[in-house]
Structure 1
């Protein structure tokens, strides 16, 4: 059972609640970004009044005072949802303690100072318990909110990079991910140095999406110099201009396709991988009819097809019989004979742009 003189001191503090509130609000008002910013003034006053009432109840040992405080838990949860930073929230709790202690000192004058000193440790225990309760509730709710936000952002990224979002949903995704819907972006799909690149892209205001073993990176375009030209260490599939978020889904598919075609340590642009991608697409539509384009070429033994293909590939790339001969260490007439042999077999004259385009795509040259 408590000392009657201690209970007398607590009763004096309860009677002094209006002054405690004034002192608390005055001190708290000196901390920017709390009162009137994130938390309404009437909320602050009501909360402070309830906090002082809880302190007095626990100090007096009232019935039920030892139970966990629903008020403290609700306060921590509410402040987390209001967006108050944890350090500002806990500073308000510390102000509660300072104001309470000054109120106890006033109430103890002149005849109960010895009682206050005798119960000083109890005061500390009550305030520390309150601080622990509100902080635990605040941090748990903050973590829950952060998890929900992360989950929501992950869903938003998945929808964005899948290309399924449009209209109002795309606008909402742009807002959540802090992206400009109509801006111009660059995209790289890679399996190399993804962690470093992800940090750089996120710091630059971009977004990152993990697609299996491939990391797709989207960042705002910064100027005329392509990302891959500014960073020679990049490897993978690259698109220089993705005009608007509504094209991110299709861009991700293309960039991932290009990444699969990139040689180790190199960047594959759309021009580099176009023929290969086009060939795959066309073969689905032309299944069983490619002979209409390649004639008897497909009937040659594989070694002979590859021998001619090396010459065709080099010629299409250089556009010159002389350079082709020099690169392959052939006589110019050898190059000419192989091109004619291919024309006799397939009916395609690769010195003619139309036929060269067909050969490049269908034969993946």
Structure 2
């Protein structure tokens, strides 16, 4: 098998011919790009004037083709990605959308190469495809670096600087290390700080907002920001919490703010460290908040809502799953069904007959009798973990009222 370097050397001349040919059709590249971004409506959401966008695309393809063709790059060329990144940041283009739009340069160049090549050029294109992607990806990286630096600069200039930074961290699931470091400095959050993230549906977010304000009054670092239909609260944990409660699902129950949090109807994520995972923590808190029952008291965690989420998913993918499991309970009288469900839920929460009997103020034999009756009606034995899990999921979604 011929080595890749040998193939590259043997195909270099024809490759350069193709690049030159593409360069002679540079206007068509810009046209293709504008079609792909729908004149700026896609990715840029019309924040960038179409005429400016096309001129920028034309210049971008000129630079990319220079690099592909090995042509000398001027200082103005080297500065071009920075200028683009700065301008797009000022125009309010979203980070991920900007990167996605720039990567469309690859498909425009590749489409042109395919249309201009001959059947015998297939090997040449295969050998040099990574050259095109490397040049475009490097170009996109330079733009993104300039963009993130400008976002920080803008945030520092504006009165809403904190909100700008928090927004970028919440909505960017892969922020650069440079941005994280600078944002952390501006927000007074160190890389090793533990961070709590909670969320409340906007309609009932007053308690969470008040809690966050109280944290600030105590001198704690705390912020709120809108995310989807939720208000997200972020605050820095005490030093001992960062060490002892990291990644514990119900860690808030053992934290310094436990008493105050019990008055807040919200979803809360496990304690995490630093700003790198703020997006995922906020997504968890919002999902929990939107799933938790309206009558839940205090914060809810992933442990509290997993049966609801699992049940919703199962019912969507397997209609009738829940009804088939609980059909027997539908035949019971209301009083018996209520007693059985209360017993099953109490037992599911602790897994011990004696403890359940004490909580239900009845004899342990009564608990066992009720569990047997539940098994007769549904076929689910609460003493078998797999069947107990099915019951928990099915009952989480079902209301008999």
| TM-score after normalising by structure 1 | 0.49
| TM-score after normalising by structure 2 | 0.45
